[in-house]
């Protein structure tokens, strides 16, 4: 890592410690934020730091959580995160899911009383690096209107699927069910950028390209009824099943300090060699076949999910993270 980025990492860590996180939890959280910056997922990066600190101050994130891991079986665990910062809950959960899968072939770990944990793909990478397939679901504050409704209820509710690829970049699909990520709208709002047409409605149900209006309005789901059904599935898997908030009850972390978010997550992991001996060769072959297809005009390379992010990571890892004036100011205030 670039020396200046290391300094930045340490600064973020210090800020978290100043806000009463343990050294270990501060390290986990700072790394997740810096990683988001490096892969270019700015909506999950430093733009959220002040929010986390505010939530700790207002006692809706617990900086000293007593996280309980309940063993349901050798494969299945239930984690009560005790309103910890989401990064810590997710880090413990994916490690438990990896452990369970290594032991029994499959792991299923549910988390309740958690918060926003950043990028699902970040945790998927951990499982994939241990040669496991993983599926990860989390719910989020209301942002998308169910098909047929004019009020938002589902979060952007990402579907995440990761697997070893047999190639350098792991296959990590981490796709929101929204036409646009809420983090990207927030980033556009912070930086006075316009949104594309057709991704959001304002609070009156009218199309808008104004990020501030979109934040108060409704994001559109991908693929109509289908995308709406997938977002609903994620709310069921991560909210209803795990014992967390659901059906629109997850609070917006930036706007609602009336209580903890109680977000839920679900982590599924399994071994790649359960049914075949040569999984890594099989998937490498699969990906190569797709990449060799004739391309549409203007496409240089057919990319698989995760490939672009991996490239960005490799390039940006040695570069200095650029920080906007607003965030610089926030860091100055937070470290005092």
Q: Smallest gap, in angstroms, from Cβ of residue 93 to a second copy? A: 12
C-beta of residue 64 within 8 angstroms of C-beta of residue 81 = no
Please pick, from the candidates 42, 117, 171, 310, the single residue that binds a second copy as defined by CB under 8 A: 171
Q: What is the C-alpha separation between 20 and 166, in angstroms, rounded?
A: 42
Q: For a second copy, which stretch binds (CB under 8 A), given 114-122, 187-195, 286-294, 324-332?
A: 286-294
- Reported as half-sphere exposure (CB side, CA atoms, 13 A), residue 241 has a value of 19
Q: Tell whether residue 40 is a contact of a second copy (CB under 8 A).
A: no
Residue 100 main-chain phi, psi, to 5 deg: -60, -45
Residue 256 main-chain phi, psi, to 5 deg: -120, 105
Element (H, E) at 78: strand 76-80
DSSP string, 198-265: TSEE-TTS-B--BHHHHHHSEEPBTTHHHHHHHHHHHHIIIIITTT---TT-SPPTTT--SS---EEE
Q: Angle at CA 327, nearest 5°, toward 323 and 329?
A: 115
Q: CA nearest 93: which of 118, 105, 110, 76?
A: 110
Please pick, from the candidates 146, 170, 183, 260, the single residue that binds a second copy as defined by CB under 8 A: 146
Structure tokens at 331: 């860091």
Q: Residues 209 to 238: which contact a second copy by CB under 8 A?
A: 222-223, 225-227, 229-230, 232-233, 235-237
Q: Tell whether residue 106 is a contact of a second copy (CB under 8 A).
A: yes
CB closer to a second copy, 1 vs 223: 223
CB closer to a second copy, 17 vs 236: 236
Q: Tell whether residue 78 is a contact of a second copy (CB under 8 A).
A: yes
Q: For a second copy, which stretch binds (CB under 8 A), given 12-20, 32-40, 118-126, 282-290?
A: 282-290
Q: Tell whether residue 17 is a contact of a second copy (CB under 8 A).
A: no
Q: Tell whether residue 3 is a contact of a second copy (CB under 8 A).
A: no
Residues interacting with a second copy, by CB under 8 A? 72-73, 75-76, 78, 104-106, 108, 110, 112, 133, 145-151, 153, 159, 161, 163, 171, 173, 175, 205, 222-223, 225-227, 229-230, 232-233, 235-237, 239-243, 246-248, 268, 270, 272, 274-276, 279, 282-283, 285-286, 289-290, 293-296, 299, 301-305
């Amino acid at each position: 890592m670039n020396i200046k980025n290391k300094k930045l990492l340490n600064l973020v860590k210090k800020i978290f410690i100043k806000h009463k996180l343990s050294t270990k939890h501060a390290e986990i959280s700072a790394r997740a934020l810096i990683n988001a910056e490096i892969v270019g997922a700015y909506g999950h990066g430093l733009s959220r730091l002040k929010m986390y600190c505010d939530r700790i101050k207002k006692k809706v994130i617990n900086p000293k959580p007593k996280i309980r891991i309940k063993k349901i079986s050798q494969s299945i665990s239930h984690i009560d995160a005790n309103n910890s910062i989401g990064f810590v809950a997710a880090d413990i959960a994916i490690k438990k899911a990896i452990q369970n899968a290594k032991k029994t072939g499959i792991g299923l770990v549910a988390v309740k009383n958690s918060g926003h944990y950043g990028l699902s793909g970040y945790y998927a990478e951990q499982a994939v690096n241990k040669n496991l397939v993983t599926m990860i679901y989390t719910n989020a504050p209301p942002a998308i209107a169910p098909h047929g409704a004019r009020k938002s209820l589902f979060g952007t509710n990402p579907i995440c699927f990761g697997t070893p690829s047999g190639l350098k970049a792991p296959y990590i699909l981490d796709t929101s069910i929204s036409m646009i990520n809420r983090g990207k709208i927030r980033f556009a709002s912070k930086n006075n950028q316009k949104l594309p047409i057709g991704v959001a409605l304002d609070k009156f149900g009218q199309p808008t390209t104004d990020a501030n209006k979109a934040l108060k309005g409704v994001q559109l789901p991908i693929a109509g009824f289908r995308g709406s059904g997938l977002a609903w599935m994620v709310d069921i898997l991560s909210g209803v099943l795990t014992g967390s908030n659901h059906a629109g009850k997850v609070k917006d972390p930036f706007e609602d300090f009336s209580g903890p978010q109680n977000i839920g997550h679900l982590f599924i992991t399994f071994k790649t060699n359960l049914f075949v001996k040569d999984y890594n060769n099989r998937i490498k072959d699969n990906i190569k076949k797709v990449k060799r297809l004739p391309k549409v005009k203007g496409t240089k390379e057919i990319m698989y999910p995760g490939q672009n992010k991996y490239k960005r990571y490799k390039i940006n890892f040695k570069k200095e993270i650029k920080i906007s004036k607003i965030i610089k100011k926030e860091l100055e205030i937070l470290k005092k």
